[in-house]
Amino acid sequence: MSPMWQEAELPAGFRLDFRESTGSTNDDVREAARTGASAGLVVVAERQQAGRGRRGAAWICPPGEGLAFSVLLRPSEPKSLWPRLSLAAGLAVAEGLDRHGVAAEVKWPNDVWIGGKKIAGILVEAGEDFVTVGIGINVGVTNFPEMLAASATSLALECGDAPELPLVLASVLERLPVWEAKIGADFDELLRRFRERCALTGKQIRLTCADGVLAGEAAGIGDGGELLIRTPEGIRRIVQAEEIRLAEG
């Protein structure tokens, strides 16, 4: 383990399991949860061989330039409320990144943008009595593959310099318990803050949902955390969707 990670300090309630290489940090946390690990386990990997985003898409995280980690949660709220953790995690990442000199926005349901470009992705997966929150953040990346160059960014590109990875990790973890605790009775506060940072509101967007391709204006976030889209037929409430893109033109 590098000295940088040996000396890493995490907020109270979290403990670090650093791995030079692994298949997927989400898989590692899931396995630990099934064998009795308590909440607060954080698996960080320098290299992921099978990192993934939503819908199984590959997540590319250059060693030393990207931060890939997963957190084990055991929420006390009813399981029906656990989907709200995607919003909570997105807000935690955005607020954590703000501390490093940027103005981050959340793209429903679980990406983080800066200036219309993706800087972080989140994958929340529920088990029987636990939740795994996987997060990938572009920290020191300065050269993206051609297919991502126009749509991705990093702290290095936004700030001119990259903070150390453990500092970015700690910034996010400081905010995660704050918003995890508000998926129940205090959900209104979580919604208010998410709405303030929503990157899609007022934009023309296109997405694929259960009944096909849908286009319209993102009208905001509903009271249940769903995405509202204004179409010629009226407001549609979207609970799940494939990749959402800003409409061209």
Tell me the per-residue pLDDT of 211-233, one tens digit each, with 9 for 90 and over.
Answer: 789 999 999 999 999 999 999 99
> Residue 53 pLDDT > 70, yes or no?
no
For the chain, list the domains and their CATH numbers: 3-197 (3.30.930.10), 204-246 (2.30.30.100)
> Residue 64 pLDDT > 90, yes or no?
no
Omega of the bond prior to 62 within 30 degrees of 0, cis?
no
What are the strands, taking DSSP E only, across the chain? 15-22, 41-48, 66-73, 105-107, 111-114, 117-126, 131-138, 204-209, 212-221, 227-231, 234-238, 245-246
pLDDT at 238 (0 to 100): 94
- What's the gap between Cα 220 and its chain centre? 19
Q: What count of Cα atoms within 13 Å lies in the side-chain half-sphere of residue 124?
A: 20
What is the distance between the alpha carbons of residues 173 and 167, in angstroms, rounded to a whole number?
10
pLDDT single digits (tens) 154-200: 999 999 999 999 999 999 999 999 999 999 999 999 999 999 999 99
pLDDT at 183 (0 to 100): 98
What is the distance between the alpha carbons of residues 26 and 134, in angstroms, rounded to a whole number?
6
Omega of the bond prior to 166 within 30 degrees of 0, cis?
no
Encoded tokens for 18: 């650093």
C-alpha closest to that of 133 among 175, 166, 196: 175
Name the pTM for this structure: 0.93
- Which of 114-123, 141-150, 190-199, 213-222 has the lowest average pLDDT? 141-150
Q: Tell the residue number behind the tokens 């929503």, with chain if given.
A: 198
C-alpha closest to that of 168 among 57, 42, 77, 1: 42
Task: Check if the beta carbon of residue 153 is closer than 8 Å to that of residue 114.
Answer: yes
Task: Check if the beta carbon of residue 92 is closer than 8 Å to that of residue 176.
Answer: yes
pLDDT at 145 (0 to 100): 87
